[in-house]
Chains A and B, each alone.
Chain A
Amino acid sequence: MRLAVFGMGAVGRSVVELAGERGHTITAVADSTSAAIDPDGIDTKAVLDKKESEGSVGTANPDDALTASYDVLIEATPTTLGDAEPGFTHTRTALERGRHVVLANKGPVAERYGDLRALERESTGNVLFEATVGGAIPVLSTINNLGPENINAVQGVLNGTTNFILSRMAAEGLGYEHVLAEAQDLGVAKADPTFEVSGNDTALKLVIIANVLAQGERQFSRNDVEVEGIEDIPSSVLGLAREDGNTVRLIGEFTGDSIRIGPRLVPESSALAVPGTRNIVQLETEHAGSLNISGRGTGGSETATAIFTDINRLD
């Protein structure tokens, strides 16, 4: 496949780096200010080096990358709320041109699911978004394989940063600020971790799961979610929880009609009490009890892996 990659963060860079060995050709790359375009395939190493040393990917205009020659547009720009721009426009342009879109950007799927599906219906291209939920864990494909109608509820840990903070605090008895600073040093938490620790990142992932499960009968967005984060969680809470054999995890849950995100008491022996940055999703099935899938939920190459899975399904 010929790929156009939008967004040059960790995910976009991983896609560019791994595309060749996966048998794909990158024909366009764009970040917010620059682009590199070559219908015969760009020199990916040169582009990655240029991004690293100069902060730009080329001399072309990002808008021209949208109309370049490609089979699949990879939308990996930062997630934005509300109108989900510019990711939504990138997606629309590609679909209107009859191209496929694979999203790592949660915004269009969480905030404008109905619009996105409407555009897809009008297009000969398809929209896939495995990478928006749970990184390398095949959450959405598992749901699709089981059939959304066979799943009654979903709960899980879907943010690595908050899980790292909570498990570190519980294991070492350290304070929130201390562990957050440590997570930032390790690159586990961003310089501005608000989106993660406020529970908003988890909320968007649950919204996407809920939209897939609702199968168009109902549309969910961020406003439908009751969210509580883990900011400044006192270590005395983790201490009290531990005396009872519990720990605290930021759990997102969708029970069929409502979505709630918040810190919950989880038995230390529970499958949900995953360590470090790991994620887990528990699907409550109609006929087969609960099903757990866990793995690495964040990271450039993990998310790129989910993107390549989607691209393979387009073949």
Chain B
Amino acid sequence: MKDSKEGVQTHTVRLELVDEPGELLRALKPIADNGGNLLSVFHERGNVTPRGYIPIEVDIEATPERFEAIIDSLHDADINIVQAGAERYSKNLTVILSGHLIDTNLSDTINRIQTETNATVTDLTLSAPEGTGDISSARLQLAIAAGQKDAAMESIRSIASDKDLRIFEPLTMEGEP
């Protein structure tokens, strides 16, 4: 018994669930099936994300091996993991758009980014030194689910091109150690 208790840690996992009946149960089942001890579930029913997901936060007690198995089976069940322990499963990305941002309806641009891609705009800074009728620039901070970056950037590029906006993307290759 000593061995099995060794290395048990508490992990906080943030998930995003589709707003459908049975989804919460579906998300908790892999935790129980893999021997995780569920300490608490915080179901943020009223706090829907811009994409219509419901965030939940669960605290789990498990050994590192079991925790890994839990994460794997959550992935297998297609449950959207935002953060698991120290590891974040969404990526923050910055892009800068430049052009007639106001005349081309900035809020519609943001809206399209949120509905047409799997990215969430988490922060926006506008710089319009010549006034809003002229060329202005906006820095957008995006949260993108892991592995979805290329698809999201592709859609954002096409939204920018529809509106004749220039886009300044981050590097594609990581490159740096």
Contact = CB atoms under 8 A, between A and B. Distances in A.
Interface of A: 153, 155, 228, 233-237, 239-241, 243-244, 246, 248, 251, 253, 255, 260, 262-267, 270-272, 282, 284, 289-290
B4 interface: no
A253 B137 contact: no
Contacts of A243: 125, 139
Interface residues of B, number: 23
A284 B175 contact: yes
Contacts of A270: 171, 175-176
A244 B142 CA distance: 13
B135 interface: yes
Contacts of A290: 175-177
A282 B135 contact: no
A253 B95 CA distance: 18
Interface in B136-177: 136-139, 166, 168-173, 175-177
B171 A266 contact: yes
Nearest to A231: B166
A248 B96 CA distance: 10
B127 interface: yes
**Which 3 residue pairs across A and B have the least CB separation, nearest first?**
A236-B127, A236-B137, A240-B139
B94 interface: yes
A265 B93 CA distance: 10
Contacts, number: 77
A264 B168 contact: yes
Contacts of B171: 155, 251, 253, 264-266, 270, 272
Contacts of A237: 96, 98, 137, 168
A153 B172 CA distance: 11
B119 to A, nearest CB: 16
B133 interface: no
A282 B128 CA distance: 35
B94 A246 contact: yes
A241 B168 contact: yes
A290 B92 CA distance: 23
Given A264-B169, A265-B95, A265-B169, A240 B175 contact: no
Contacts of B139: 240-241, 243-244
B94 A239 contact: no
B7 interface: no
Interface string B27-68: 000000000000000000000000000000000000000000
B172 A265 contact: no
A289 B94 contact: no
A234 B134 CA distance: 11
